[in-house]
Structure 1
Amino acid sequence: MNQYVILNANDNVAVALQDLMAGTVISDLETPVTLQEDVKRGHKFTLQALSKNADVIKYGYPIGHVTEDVVAGQWVHTHNLATNLKDQLAYDYQPMTIPNHYQKEPERYFMGYKRDNGKVGIRNNLYIIPTVGCINPLLDIFVQQFKALHPDNGSFDNIIVLKHPYGCSQLGDDFEMTRRILVDAALQPNAGGVLVFGLGCENNQMDGMKAAIEAYEPINPDRMKFIISQEVKDELGDALDLLEELNEAAKDDHRVKCPLSDLKIGLKCGGSDGLSGVTANPLLGRLSDYIVAQGGSTVLTEVPEMFGAEQILMSRAKDQPTFEKIVELINEFKAYFESYHQPIYENPSPGNKEGGISTLEDKSLGCTQKSGTSPVCDVLQYGDKLKTNGLSLLQAPGNDLVSSSALASADCQMVLFTTGRGTPFATYVPTVKVASNSYIADKKPRWIDFDAGQLMNKSMDDLADQFIDFIIETASGRPTNNEQFGIHGIAIFKNGVTE
């Protein structure tokens, strides 16, 4: 295994690929460097002396400046490196076109479920959606009743309860946000059947839910059922009857051959380390470019983790109006921070720092590698559904739970989630965990689905081919770890008043 990697010819730091001891000589450089102190895996060391306030260059871009004079071979991290970032900025459109690595690939297919509304699912799941958190305790009971009759989940691949604590005592946009995300879930292409379960007295009234769903498309009464528990004598028995009706409606569902242009994939990272931008995120970037070249869709979110790399994304906007949407996306999210008098550049987290990420620029330049090199075709607001094929950006925070759920709400049938530190969370669509290093892949086999740490010993071309095959198999029904172990969740962005 190599000791280090230099990510761009203009970089003045290298990233350690293994724990390196003080005194280690990096002898294969034009000017050999002796490490002045221990440097852990994923952390950075200087390739040359830098004067105080000099920029530290990684990925070919500044990730901050040194706060003191440093010598060649010195560990550079939060103790001697500070951000260069400012608050809201003005930007100029400077378009840049990067040829897609995959331009003349043969058309490929996966096995999916064709829906009556023209959408395509990669799972035939049963979603049970509470309108309000008050009724969460009831949901597991009638799922247990249904599974007692159908131990194999009946006509469905998975039965997923989307528990959440909201739906009442919310006002204004905060309430509308909750309703919108629940409606998005009801219309998710992976849903073979949906039961919307209400209480009756909540703010999130069932009539409002139905109207919001019908604003998108007509309700299919065979595939979507509704119950208000305060209006029936036996809510458990009645709910079980409705589940049986959904099960009957889905009994003849089967997979059919679908082009990859029908695939919509969310791109996400969490628990990142210093290798995330070296291995797992670039691997997702290659996958994204491949899906886009096949006519499919990918979605990049976590807006705060674009700060510091936003100008790269802006330069890839397909046109001036899209560029202006990206500017608005970035500056509006900065304004959101400012409205609560919070620092915009508090990120990265303690775990990120332990793993070798020093500043938000460092994190963002690594995070945005997930988008590959494709043009940005559209910008979506939180709760929006995909409108066009290609690469889109989605407004959502960096919070893993909320941003993963936002990707599922946008109609992504699958979320690819890179991690260097490890995390068990998964949203309500198949969530593929991609490890940035083999250590966490070996340590957490029930969490990790694919080990991008193999890039330490394999070429990107070879591993990308392997990963593409793996994703097509997953889209065609291969279960992810979160599915095998029943780990599903939904989280909703809260921004408003609770009465």
Structure 2
Amino acid sequence: MRKTIIINPLDNVGVALTKLAKGETAENVVLCEDIEKGHKFALRNIAEGEQVIKYGEVIGAASQQINAGSHVHTHNMHTCLDGTLEYTFNKVAKPELPKAVSRNVNVYVRKNGDAGIRNELWVIPTVGCVNSQARRIVKVFCEKHPELSGVDGCHAFTHPYGCSQIGEDHERTRLLLQRMVKHPNCGGALVLGLGCENNRMDVFKDTLGEYDESRTRFLIAQDVPDEVEAGVQLLEELYEAAKNDKREPKDISCLKVGLKCGGSDGLSGITANPLVGRFSDYMAEVGGTTVLTEVPEMFGAEHLLMNRAKDAETFEKVVHLVNGFKEYYKRHDQPVYENPSPGNKAGGITTLEDKSLGCTQKSGTGEVCDVLMEGNCVVEHGLNLLNGPGNDMVAVTDLACAGCQLVLFTTGRGTPFGGFVPTVKISTNTELSQRKKNWIDFDAGTIAQGESFESKLDSLVDLVAAVAGGQKTVNEIYDSRDIAIFKTGVTL
């Protein structure tokens, strides 16, 4: 089993793949101190002010002299990032990838041609005031139908918004809820309102656009004597419409897969994230779609994504995406680079550049085909970038609302979280996978132990195909399903 890795020949730090002891020789240097798994050590002397190199890129600079064999972390290095930047488009050639073999997945084909991987009934509140009623409607309905034959589940997706919001903040809430109503994983949606909220039901319906009226119902709680009884009756109608839906085979290219990481550690950019990057390349090769978000965790690696833009217009979109999010921080008088988190640092990630270069490994090596801003849905096959924060719940909600039927979620620290679409948790290290089987779906940590990326990619594609065909993810088994709407405005 390998104990250390040098990710790129240009690097002046190595990474411990297991805990190393002071006095050990690692990558031809004698360690000056113990090095925890996932943490960095200097391969040679690094002078104060000199750049620290990992992934072949700058992840910061030494804040003091760092001797060969020393631990390299927050105590002796710092970020080199600062504010918005100007960028130049230096397009890199699209790499030649191994020929990908496509396959079929069994999905629900919706009236508009979209492919759903679940056939669920959803209750979607327009406002947080009716959250408890939404949950009660689902509870009563499921008690009447304990088997729910013909559908994959019935769920209420509650949130605290829909009132006391104005402007773009209010419009974003309405738009994301509308995206949920029309999501292909939803076999029937009950939209539940209160009646006096500013997310008015009439405006919601008028701006919803084309939708399947046979699979959508609307209920205003203030308009009926018993909103639970009325809601259950409307769910009965949706159930009758949805319960005879059948899966049918379609090419895997029908899938739109979100890419997300959370609770990263020092192995994230070595095992799980580059594995997901290979999956993204695979999907592009077979004509499918992947979507990468977490704009703040592109900072420090954005130039790599920009230079992979398919053309100059897309490059400018990526520049706008990145600098726009930096300006968002500045408008709120917050530091642009307040990252990584305490958990990230404990796992071996030192600076935002360190984190971002690991995070963007999920994008693979292919072209960036399009950039999606708030509320936009995927239209381009291949790799897309989506505007959104790093917050796990918000990011997964944004990915699903952009049209993703499932999300691949890599983690080194672990999380039980799941979104309103199946959320496949991929561990960066085997210890996490073994210790938290109720959180993790797939172990990428075996890559650090010598298993090939090719073998793990085959297994990951198998898992995605199985999940698309109905196999439940851990978050579904344990009913970890949540949404979080990105709020940027004032509360009235």
Aligning the two structures, in what range does the TM-score lie when normalised by the shorter sequence?
over 0.9
User: Does residue 228 of structure 2 align to residue 236 of structure 1?
Assistant: yes
Partner residue, 1:44: 40
Distance in 1, matches of 2:192 and 2:113, equals 26
Q: How is 1:66-465 mapped onto 2 (pairs within 5 angstroms)?
A: 66-102=62-98, 104-214=99-209, 217=210, 219-455=211-447, 456-465=449-458
Does the CA-based 8 Å contact 2:48-2:62 persist in structure 1? Answer: yes
Partner residue, 1:59: 55
Does the CA-based 8 Å contact 1:154-1:247 persist in structure 2? Answer: no
Deviation at 1:313, TM superposition (A): 0.1
Does the CA-based 8 Å contact 1:100-1:293 persist in structure 2? Answer: no
Q: Percent identity?
A: 52
Distance in 2, matches of 1:467 and 1:249, equals 34
The aligned amino acid for 2:351 is: T
Partner residue, 1:472: 465
Distance in 1, matches of 2:388 and 2:480, equals 22
The aligned amino acid for 2:473 is: T
- The alignment partner of 1:402 has SS state of helix
Partner residue, 1:8: 8
Does the CA-based 8 Å contact 2:138-2:155 persist in structure 1? Answer: no
Distance in 2, matches of 1:293 and 1:105, equals 6
Partner residue, 1:498: 491
1:113-163 Cα offsets, whole Å, 9 max, x none, are 000011100111111100000011112222121111211234320222110
Does the CA-based 8 Å contact 1:295-1:389 persist in structure 2? Answer: yes
Distance in 1, matches of 2:25 and 2:479, equals 48
Does the CA-based 8 Å contact 2:252-2:288 persist in structure 1? Answer: yes
Does the CA-based 8 Å contact 1:18-1:42 persist in structure 2? Answer: yes
Does the CA-based 8 Å contact 2:122-2:156 persist in structure 1? Answer: yes
1:450-475 Cα offsets, whole Å, 9 max, x none, are 00001123111111111111111111
Deviation at 1:100, TM superposition (A): 4.7
Does the CA-based 8 Å contact 1:289-1:373 persist in structure 2? Answer: yes
Deviation at 1:447, TM superposition (A): 0.5
Distance in 2, matches of 1:171 and 1:497, equals 8
Distance in 1, matches of 2:247 and 2:214, equals 19
Distance in 2, matches of 1:403 and 1:335, equals 19
Distance in 2, matches of 1:301 and 1:343, equals 20
The aligned amino acid for 1:477 is: G
Distance in 2, matches of 1:175 and 1:348, equals 30
Deviation at 1:220, TM superposition (A): 2.0
1:24-55 Cα offsets, whole Å, 9 max, x none, are 112xx4xx200001100000001111111111
Deviation at 1:105, TM superposition (A): 2.5
The aligned amino acid for 1:380 is: L
Does the CA-based 8 Å contact 1:288-1:370 persist in structure 2? Answer: yes
Unaligned 5+ runs, structure 2: none
Does the CA-based 8 Å contact 2:142-2:154 persist in structure 1? Answer: no
TM-score of the pair, normalised by structure 1: 0.97
Partner residue, 1:482: 475
Bigger mean CA deviation after superposition, 145-154 or 465-474? 145-154
Distance in 2, matches of 1:169 and 1:403, equals 23
Distance in 1, matches of 2:202 and 2:318, equals 35
- The alignment partner of 1:213 has SS state of coil
Distance in 1, matches of 2:229 and 2:65, equals 72
Does the CA-based 8 Å contact 1:100-1:289 persist in structure 2? Answer: no
Does the CA-based 8 Å contact 2:89-2:307 persist in structure 1? Answer: yes
Q: Once superposed, what is the RMSD of the aligned Cα atoms? A: 0.9
Distance in 2, matches of 1:98 and 1:60, equals 19
Unaligned 5+ runs, structure 1: none
Distance in 2, matches of 1:213 and 1:431, equals 26
Instruction: From the superposition, tell whether residues 25 and 106 of structure 1 become closer, same or farther in structure 2 (CA, over 3 Å).
Output: closer
